Amino acid sequence: RAWLGKLKFWYDQLAPMLAGSEGSDGDAAEPDTTDYSDGLPKFLVRHLRISGEVPLMNQAIPVEGDLRDLTHQPEIYGKPAELALKSASAALGNLALDAVLDHTRPKAGKDLFRFDLADLPVEDLPLGDSDKLPVIIEAAKAAINGQAVIEGGTLNLDSKVVLAALKTQVLRQEGLSKVQEALVAALGGIESLDLQVLAQGALEDPKVSLKSTLDRVLSSALKGALESEVKKLRSELNNKLNALAAEKIGALNTATGPLAGLDGLLKDQLGQLGGLSGLL
């Protein structure tokens, strides 16, 4: 959301220049009597070469690029403004931004931004609540690409993020449950991470959602931890059942011991009867 806030700030600086007939709802302006038969508005930047620095991430980030067809009366000029920027720095990585700002139809403006950012350094990024999941991304390189559309005061953003060369750090091991230990171990072994960031809704407060391969890693670790616990409990239960069965069988053998002696006595008596029948 911090990034979205910064992007909105810069967009707000540019928006008034593109408003044209979409102007404020205040008092009506005086009639415009300018002759536009040549197809040109009062103010027009056909081509502006940009080179300078932008304050970002507490640093001055160098940028260069081109701005074309910028006017405060785009409905007269009939062409959308186009912006192409590039930047390369250790703090931000390599950025390419292309924008088409189309306000040629009054009250139906549509702005399209495409961006591609590579080699963005990421450091000390928490992966969750430090008490429940004490793991951080110690270092990684991020690649971010996607597009954003602003239309009718609403934002629709779709972006893909890939974290590579990823190094994690486990902040602590003590005091963790078996499940937490399994999750921490799984996070400690990841080398890359893919994310999809979606933002939709009012430009001032869009709804942001996040999907990532981290969900699959954590689900697999949680499943493994649960299976391990189930296996352990099953083994303990089998041991208890075996001990109980041995105890009951031992008691049964003790109870049937006299019957075994009676069986031997009966065989002796039958043997004696057999001897008597031979004499007869």
pLDDT digits (tens, 9 = 90+) for 165-216: 989 888 887 877 777 777 778 877 788 889 899 999 988 888 988 888 877 7
Identify which of 69-73, 216-220, 246-250 has the greatest average pLDDT.
Answer: 69-73
For the chain, give me the number of helices (H) and strands (E)? 4, 9
Would the pLDDT of 260 be above 70?
no
* pLDDT of res. 24: 47
Sheet holding 135-151, edge to edge: 45-56, 59-70, 81-89, 93-102, 110-126, 135-151, 154-170, 193-202, 207-212
Residue 237 lies in a domain: no
3-state secondary structure of 227: helix
Looking at the domain assignment, is residue 70 inside a domain? yes
Q: Kindly state the DSSP code that residue 21 receives in the 8-state scheme.
A: G
Q: Give yes or no for residue 263 having a pLDDT over 80.
A: no
Residue 138 domain-assigned?
yes
Q: Comparing C-alpha atoms, which of 219, 133, 121 is closest to residue 164? A: 121
Q: What is the mean pLDDT of residues 3-32?
A: 56
| Residue 258 belongs to a domain | no
Q: Which residue has the higher pLDDT, 219 or 240?
A: 219
Is residue 232 predicted with pLDDT exceeding 70?
A: no
Return the percentage of the chain with pLDDT > 70, whole number: 65
Q: Is residue 196 part of a domain?
A: yes
Q: What was the pLDDT predicted at 108?
A: 86
For residue 8, what pLDDT is reported? 60
Task: Return the minimum-mean-pLDDT range out of 5-9, 90-94, 214-218.
Answer: 5-9
Query: For the segment 25-79, what is each residue's pLDDT rounded down to a tens digit?
Result: 545 555 555 555 666 788 888 999 999 998 877 888 899 999 999 988 888 888 9
Minimum mean pLDDT among 64-68, 81-85, 101-105, 252-256: which range? 252-256
Residues with Cβ within 8 Å of residue 275, at least 6 apart in sequence? none
**Residue 240 placed within a domain:** no
Tokens of 216: 């699959």
What is the number of structural domains in the chain? 1
| Average pLDDT value for residue range 125-149 | 86
Instruction: Please name the residue that has the structure tokens 């001032």.
Output: 204
Most confident of the ranges 5-9, 186-190, 268-272: 186-190
- Say whether 114 sits in a helix, a strand or coil: strand
Q: From the centroid of its chain, how far is CA 129?
A: 15
Question: In the beta sheet, which residues pair with residue 63?
Answer: 52
Cα(108)–Cα(225) distance, rounded to whole angstroms?
Answer: 54
In a domain, 130, yes or no: yes
Whether 17 maps to a domain, the answer reads yes
In DSSP terms, which residues pair with 55 in a beta bridge? 60
Confidence (pLDDT) at 132: 76
Residue range of the domain that includes 195: 2-26+34-214
Dist CA 119 CA 94 (whole Å): 6
